[in-house]
Amino acid sequence: MQSRETTMKSIAFHAAVALLALGAAGLSVKAQTPPVPTQAVAADMAEGEVRKIDKENGKITLRHGPIKQLDMPGMTMVFQVPDVALLDRVRVGDKVRFAASNAAGKLTVTQLQPAQ
């Protein structure tokens, strides 16, 4: 009985070591994965024109083209801007590139930059 118990403990120990080794191998592969190129992120940005800036309330009105990631056609609408420092980068009438999300039913600008 003693040798069977020892054998079972040995099998369990070796299985645990193998699982840890496989997990560590997976982490090293993940660590070597290169970052996503900036062009891919830039391709997801929509184009628009600043119509109004409401810094006090953290909002911007944009006349924009289609927003692919939100499956939204072009229109003029108000977006929330959680990081009001983004609003310092643009003025009314500026052409811009931006990324937006629909978080909890609120359309939000997550990135904003003057178009070039």
**What pTM value is reported for the model?**
0.63
Q: State pLDDT tens for residues 18-44.
A: 666 666 656 555 556 555 444 435 558
Instruction: Output the pLDDT for position 40.
Output: 39
Kindly report the backbone phi and psi dihedral angles of residue 79, in degrees, each rounded to the nearest multiple of 5, phi listed first.
-120, 145
Q: What is the mean pLDDT of residues 45-68?
A: 96
* pLDDT confidence band for 6 (50 / 70 / 90): confident
- Averaged pLDDT score across all residues of the chain: 82
Q: How far is CA 13 from CA 10, 16, 96, in A?
A: 5, 5, 59
